[in-house]
């Protein structure tokens, strides 16, 4: 049996795309950006598949096996990844809480300046807006501000949905986002059918905060944010047995 399970091809293409984009930057910026792309790709891969081998990691990241080993050891030293020995002389890798936070930070940093981000964001926002309309939603809110929110607003123009406004911690009286009202709380925007989550900065913590205000099935999240939704209560109970 091949060691490790290969990741989804789309995820692999996205990781390789990040590195290709980095190679087109000026030398100094490219070195830093490529390092970020490799580190983010590694954290993504470990998060998706704890049993992945270093050889499979190297293949997915498009780098040499020796360099992959160096990055893995670096992540372990920084407390981003933990390693445990598994049966048959294999190893399992797990992201630590610090690793999840770093993955979220790197995702926000990289995506905000990546061309691939704009293409993926537009496609994913369109798909989620189609889903919202298909559910019979008429009025939605956007949660977060920044590039992704701007893309969502532009995409929404082509869908039969009204945007109630934008929820953001920085909202101030009289300030608007692309002519939309802003509020610090979801309740301030009135009744909405659901929320399109568009927060790039610390998306996981903001999503967790939103979950305290609204049921998960009323929140649509673009996959590129890599937010981890909590397991349903029934699943948590089964895992605890």
Which CATH number does the domain housing residue 173 bear? 3.40.50.720
Cα→Cα distances 61→53, 115, 199, 220, 231, Å: 12, 19, 27, 29, 29
Phi, psi of 26 (to 5 degrees): -55, 155
Q: Are 100 and 22 in a shared domain?
A: yes
Q: Are 34 and 68 in a shared domain?
A: yes
pLDDT at 33: 63
Q: Are 18 and 70 in a shared domain?
A: yes
Tokens standing for 178?
């692309």
Distance between CA atoms of residues 46 and 57, nearest Å: 9
| Residue at 80 is within a domain | yes
Structural domain harbouring 126: 115-225
Q: Are 129 and 55 in a shared domain?
A: no
Cβ–Cβ under 8 Å, residues 187 and 168: no
CA neighbours closer than 13 Å in the CB half-sphere of residue 222: 30
User: Element (H or E) spanning 232, and its range?
Assistant: none
Distance between CA atoms of residues 106 and 200, nearest Å: 10
Q: Are 122 and 204 in a shared domain?
A: yes
Q: Are 89 and 137 in a shared domain?
A: no
Distance between CA atoms of residues 21 and 37, nearest Å: 9
Whole-model pTM: value is: 0.58
| Residue at 143 is within a domain | yes
Q: Pick from 110, 140, 163: which residue ends a domain?
A: 110
| Residue at 230 is within a domain | no
The residues near 238 (Cβ < 8 Å, ≥ 6 apart) are none
Cβ–Cβ under 8 Å, residues 51 and 5: yes
Distance between CA atoms of residues 111 and 34, nearest Å: 13
Q: How many domains in the chain?
A: 2
Burial 27-37 (b: 16+ CB within 10 A, else e): eeebeebbebb
Q: Are 180 and 84 in a shared domain?
A: no
Q: What is the pLDDT along the chain (241 residues), one digit of tens a residue?
A: 333 333 334 455 444 444 444 433 333 444 456 788 889 999 999 998 888 889 999 998 888 999 999 999 999 999 999 998 877 667 889 999 999 999 988 887 776 666 777 888 999 999 999 999 999 999 999 999 988 999 999 999 999 999 999 999 888 888 899 999 999 999 999 999 999 999 998 899 999 999 999 999 999 999 999 898 765 554 344 445 5
| Residue at 40 is within a domain | yes
Q: First-to-last CA distance in the chain?
A: 31
């Amino acid at each position: 049996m091949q060691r490790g399970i290969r990741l989804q091809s789309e995820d692999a293409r996205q990781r390789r795309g990040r590195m290709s984009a980095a190679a087109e930057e000026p030398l100094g910026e490219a070195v830093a950006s490529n390092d970020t792309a490799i580190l983010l790709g590694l954290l993504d891969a470990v998060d998706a598949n704890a049993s992945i081998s270093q050889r499979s990691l190297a293949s997915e990241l498009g780098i040499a096996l020796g360099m992959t080993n160096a990055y893995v050891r670096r992540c372990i030293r920084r407390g981003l990844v933990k390693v445990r020995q598994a049966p048959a002389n294999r190893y399992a890798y797990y992201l630590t809480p610090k690793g999840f936070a770093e993955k979220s930070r790197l995702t926000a940093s990289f995506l905000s300046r990546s061309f691939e981000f704009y293409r993926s964001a537009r496609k994913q926002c369109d798909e989620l807006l189609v889903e919202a309309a298909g559910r019979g939603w008429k009025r939605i809110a956007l949660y977060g501000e920044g590039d992704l929110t701007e893309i969502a607003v532009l995409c929404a123009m082509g869908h039969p949905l009204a945007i109630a406004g934008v929820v953001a911690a920085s909202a101030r009286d009289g300030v608007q986002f692309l002519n939309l009202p802003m509020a610090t709380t979801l309740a301030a925007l009135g009744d909405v059918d659901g929320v399109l989550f568009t927060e790039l900065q610390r998306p996981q913590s903001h999503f967790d905060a939103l979950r305290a205000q609204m049921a998960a099935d009323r929140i649509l999240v673009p996959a590129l944010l890599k937010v981890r939704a909590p397991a349903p209560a029934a699943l948590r109970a089964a895992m605890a047995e």
